[in-house]
Chain A
Amino acid sequence: MNDIKQQGNRLGIIGWLTGGRWGFERYMYSLHRITGLGILSYFLLHIFVTSSRLFGARTWELVMGAVANPVFKLGEFAVFAAFAFHMLNGLRLILIEFGFAVGKAEEPVYPYRSSVNTQRPLSVIVIILAAVIVCVGGYRFFFMH
C-alpha cells in the first residue's frame, strides 16, 4: 500500500467550478465547500461581535448599530441561505456515508451500473427543501420587520 504514489490535486480550487461533464453531485460538493467557508467566516466574526456584550450596554448598542445596515442584512441572509443548503446537504452526505439511499450492493457485472442515479432523488429533495427554507426565511428577513 505504501508504494502507491499519491496523485496531486491538479485542478485545486479551480476544479470546484470546472467540473465540466461531472455530475450534479460534483457541483453540490463544490457548493458544500463554498457555503462551509462562508459560514465559517461569518462565525469567526460572530464570536467577536457577540463577545462585545462583555463591555456593557453602550458597546453592545454601538456594535449592533454598526452591523445594522443593508450590506450586513444581505450578508446575514446569504449566511442563512448557505446554512440551509449546508445543513441539508450535510445530512444527505451522512446518510450516504452510512450506506443509506445508495441502493443495494450488487455484483459488478458489465455493463456496470452507477449508484449515482439511485442517489439522485435525495439530491433533488435537498435542493427543493433548501429552496423552500430560503424562500420562507427570505420572507421573514425582508418583509417581517
Chain B
Amino acid sequence: MNGLSKWTWHMMAGLGLVAFLSIHMITMHLDLILGWFNPAGGESLDWANVTARGKQAIMPFFYVAFLGLALYHGLYGLRTIIFELGIPKRMARLTTILILIAGIGLFGLGSFAAFHFASVAASTGAIQ
C-alpha cells in the first residue's frame, strides 16, 4: 500500500468513525432519554447493561470494527505527526514497526475481550 492509499484509508476510517462514535455516544450518554441500548435500565455502564449488550450477537462485530477503524485512524495519525517532525529514515522505519506491533497487540486484546465476553455471556447468562 503506497502513501496515498494509506492516507485515503485514514480519511475513510475517519468517516467510518463518525458513524461508529455517534452510535457509541448515543449508547453511553443519551440512552437515559432514548432507552434503546440499555435494556436493564439505569446507567449504561451498570454491569447488567454491559452483560445485556454482550449477549447481543451484533455487538462483538460492532466493537471489533470500531476498534479496527479507531486504531488505524489514531495510530496512522500519530505516525504522521512523528514523521512531520522530520526524523531520520532509520528512526522512521523503527517508528512504523513499533506502531504496527502496538496496533496489532491492542487489536488482538480488544477483539479477544469482545468475542470472549460475548460467548461467555451468551452461554452462562453473565460472568460472575
Residues of A within 8 A of B (CB): 6, 8-9, 12-13, 33, 36-37, 39-40, 43-44, 47-48, 50-51, 53-57, 60-61, 64, 80, 83, 87, 90-91, 94, 97, 137, 140-141, 144
Contacts and interface: CB of A to CB of B under 8 A. Distances in A.
A140 B31 CA distance: 11
Interface in B65-88: 67, 70, 74-75, 77-78, 81, 84-86
Interface residues of B, number: 33
Interface of B: 11, 14-15, 17-18, 21, 25, 29-30, 32, 45, 47, 50, 54, 67, 70, 74-75, 77-78, 81, 84-86, 106, 109-110, 113, 116-117, 126-128
A54 B116 contact: yes
A54 B29 CA distance: 23
Interface of B is mostly: helix
B11 A83 contact: no
Contact of A51 (B86, B109, B127, B128): B109
Nearest to A10: B86
A144 B67 contact: no
A18 B6 CA distance: 29
Contacts of A47: 67, 106, 109-110
Contacts of B11: 94, 97
7 contacts: A6-B86, A12-B85, A40-B74, A47-B109, A47-B110, A50-B110, A87-B17
Nearest to B109: A51
Nearest to B121: A53
A67 to B, nearest CB: 10
Contact of B77 (A9, A12, A13, A36): A36
